[in-house]
Amino acid sequence: MTTELRGNYTLAADRLAFLDARPEVEVTELGDGLWTISAGTHRTVFAAGDDGVVAWDTLSTPGAARAYREAVGRPIDTVVYSNDHLDRSGWSRELAPSAERVAHEWCARVVELRGADGQLPATQTFVDERQVGPARVFFPGLTSASGNVASYFAEQRVLYAPDTVLPNAKYSMLPDWHIRNFSQSLHSLLELDFETFVPGRYGVMTRAEFEEGLAFLDAVHEAAQHAFAESVAVWMFDAMEAFVKERLSDTWGRLDGFDDHVGIMAFRIAHHYLTGGWSTEDTAAGRPQAG
Amino acid sequence: MAVSECHRGIFTIAGAIPSQLQWRDMTYEPLRGKVWTISEGINRSIFIEGETGVVAFDTFGSPMGAIAYGMAVQRVLPDKPVHTIVYTHDHLDHTGYAADFAPNARIIAHELTNNVLVNRESDGQLPATETWSGETAWYEIDGVRFQLIYPGPTHGDGNSAAWFPDLKLLFMVDSIIPGVGYTFLPDWHLAPYIPTVKRLLDLDFDLFVPGHFWLTDREGFADNIRWYEAVAHTAQEAIVDGIDVESLPEVTRYANEHLRGEYGRLFRFDEYAGMNVLRYVYEYLHGGWGPEGNTAPRCEPIEAHHDH
């Protein structure tokens, strides 16, 4: 390994060479001064203008962060952390160690608590919204992770909101999603005038595809709640999966990943209703427990 | 809004909720001293006979479960009302229905637990009438003496153990459970989890009452921790090996291949081993979830002296 960074992994260093591997990246221009970059499944955006270069997130490994830095090809002045997850913002030490780092205050708190070796603490935090380069970066309400923000590029009519809507059904167990609030938060994004949506993974989407993805999430949410209410054993995965597939296959079975993912998505949502949600984020308080 | 036939928890769909109305048959048995344990086959709790009434832990997970719990206690101790409920943590499947169980009882909860349920406003879940904070609190209620212990983040918010030192009995919900972990380890705080539950081994107990399934002992408690350690390792190896770690079928195949030999004997291995690994995969991809999942565990011994 040429990088010493390991995030939270505890395996021996010789097993972590994959972190250092340099993936192929693909850069596509989205509009004047705005690009999207993908490495494998993960995707993000960067912008260049009079205010310098702003990079959103870091991609998912130190090797990918290095490839990201090289693809940008200019010094990065500012890194925006869209949320706290290491596969999103975990490798700023590799991407741009001297840059300003902007994050929502809840994201910054988690980053600080975690102390992962590649994820440098935020240098600037905000609560509701702030302008960063060409984007209005704002908190749309709880969706997933801690302090997950959306970034709106009005001039290019582009919205970047990672770890929310995908162009497929590959949501797995909806990891670290806030089930009570995500739908309302995501619907609020439709008030923005965007025609291109950049998800945090997979391909760039149109507004119509964003709306379709949101409808899929809502359909799974409703089906999962009905399954639990109608006494499908909430602890039996096969029963839950069969219930939601029967309800949803005709409409949504065409989505890539539907067969492998819809069962665990519904299982996760049903457990929201079993347990009442997770912590104060899933209550009317709508924020983490006080530190 | 449709007329509610029973407390609805947090369901938002209209109409009756049949699962809330299902009757639950309870079985119960005396354990040690005046401590009883009760279960409907999946969830488990304890209640203790006091001099004038009953101290009961939790409420079970539905209105009918709570009603069945209350009737069972009344059957065992017919002249003694439930005057106190102790909440172990915030989740509705354990503490969601005091309104159906003993609506006028004194309710004790850790402040982290109460912060959640006050804001949740779930139909049937009553807020605590008194809270405690910090790591330990001794209680002597109606002749029933125990220590509540919040050892750090494990699961849910404020999830606390109850220790009966004179009986060498420890009760803790949704931490150590016989077999593999429950489903995808919902609301488990994995970074601090293993060191935090290990701290409980400092306590003098030889009977452990979990919140699900059957009783175990110190060795069963320690053996269960080893499962979590194995899952944490296997999840990292799955990422390193480059499988599609977001696909449950793929992760389940990997878990079977790498864990069945040593751990296939565990209860519900076939059902949940893959989900356990999937959840741990995200622990390493993401780095833990929220403040609770990134809180450094405490390592010093639990303050367990008997003064109070």
Question: How many angstroms separate the CA of residue B94 from the nearest CA in chain A?
Answer: 8
Q: What is the mean pLDDT of residues B173-200?
A: 97
Radius of gyration of chain A (CA): 19
ipTM of the complex: 0.97
Give the model's pLDDT for residue A196.
Answer: 98
- Is residue B112 helix, strand or coil? helix
Return the ∠ at Cα B243 (arms to B241 and B245), rounded to 5°. Answer: 115
Inform me whether the pLDDT recorded for B95 exceeds 80: yes
The pLDDT value recorded for residue A4 is: 86
Q: What share of chain B in percent tops pLDDT 70?
A: 97
Average pLDDT estimate for B147-159: 98
Q: Scanning every residue of chain B, which has its alpha carbon at the shortest distance from the alpha carbon of A171?
A: B246
**CA angle, corner A203, sides to A198 and A207, nearest 5?**
50
pLDDT in tens, B30-59: 999 999 999 999 999 999 999 999 999 999
Residue A234: list chain B partners with CB under 8 A. 19
Chain B nearest C-alpha distance from A189 (Å) = 23
Report pLDDT for B306.
57
Would you call A176 and B284 a contact, using CB atoms and an 8 Å cutoff?
no
Q: Across residues A55-71, what is the average pLDDT?
A: 98
Q: Which site among B5, B120, B121, B258 would you substitute to test the A interface, given the most A Cβ atoms closer than 10 Å to its Cβ?
A: B120
Residues of A within 8 A of B120 (CB-CB) are 276-277, 282-284
d(C-alpha A143, C-alpha A180), whole Å? 9
Cβ atoms of A183 and A165 closer than 8 Å? no
Residues 172-231 of A with CB under 8 A from B: 172-173, 175-176, 180, 222, 225-226, 228-231
Q: What is the DSSP string of A54-92?
A: EEE---SSHHHHHHHHHHH-S---EEEESSS-HHHHTTH
> What is the DSSP track for chain A?
------TT--S-GGG-HHHH----EEEEEEETTEEEEEETTEEEEEEEETTEEEEE---SSHHHHHHHHHHH-S---EEEESSS-HHHHTTHHHH-TTSEEEEEHHHHHHHHHH--TT-PPPSEEESSEEEETTEEEE--S--BTTT--EEEETTTTEEE--SS--SSS--TT-TTB-TTTHHHHHHHGGGS--SEEE-SBSS-EEHHHHHHHHHHHHHHHHHHHHHHHTT--TT-HHHHHHHHHHHHHHHHTTSTTHHHHHHHHHHHHHHHHHHT-STGGGSTT-SPPP-
Cβ pair B120:A173 closer than 8 A:
no
Q: What is the pTM for the complete model shown?
A: 0.96
> Which residues of A are less than 8 Å from B112 in CB distance?
289
What is the mean predicted confidence (pLDDT) over B253-276? 98
Chain A residues in contact with B286 (beta carbon < 8 A): 84-87, 145, 175-176
* CB contacts, 8 Å: A90 with chain B: 287
- Contact state of A175 with B282 under an 8 Å Cβ cutoff: yes
Contact criterion met (CB below 8 Å) for B206 and B174: no
Q: Is B19 helix (H, G, I), strand (E, B) or coil?
A: helix
Query: Residue A157 pLDDT > 70, yes or no?
Result: yes
Residue-level pLDDT at B222? 97
How close is the nearest chain B Cα to the Cα of A119, in Å?
Answer: 10
Any idea which of A23-37, A100-114, B5-19, B163-177 has the lowest mean pLDDT? Answer: B5-19
Q: Does residue A51 or residue A64 have the better pLDDT?
A: A64
Q: Which residues of B touch A228 (CB under 8 A)?
A: 19
pLDDT the model gives residue B6: 86
Rounded (10°) CA dihedral B277, B229, B116, B123 = 50
User: Average pLDDT for residues B247-257, to the nearest whole number?
Assistant: 98
Pairwise CA distance, residues B146 & B169, whole Å: 10
C-beta of residue B113 within 8 angstroms of C-beta of residue B89: yes
* pLDDT given at position A119: 98
Whether the pLDDT of residue A84 is over 90: the answer is yes
What is the number of CB-based contacts under 8 A between chain A and chain B? 181
Out of B90, B271, B292, the one facing A276 most closely (by C-beta) is B90
Look at residue B199 and give its three-state secondary structure: helix
State pLDDT tens for residues B106-123. 999 999 999 999 999 999
Q: Residue B220: pLDDT above 70?
A: yes
pLDDT value at residue A50: 87
Cβ A86–B90 below 8 Å, yes or no? Answer: no
Q: Does residue B307 have a pLDDT over 80?
A: no
Write out pLDDT tens, residues B57-80.
999 999 999 999 999 999 999 999
Q: Which residues of B touch A173 (CB under 8 A)?
A: 184, 248, 275, 278-279, 282
CB of A241 less than 8 A from some CB of B = no
Q: Do A229 and B19 touch (CB under 8 A)?
A: yes
Q: How confident is the model at residue A193 (pLDDT cuts 50, 70, 90)?
A: very high
Give the pLDDT score at B2. Answer: 37
Cross-chain residue pair B287–A288, CB shorter than 8 Å: no
Backbone φ and ψ for B35, nearest 5 degrees, come out as -90, 130
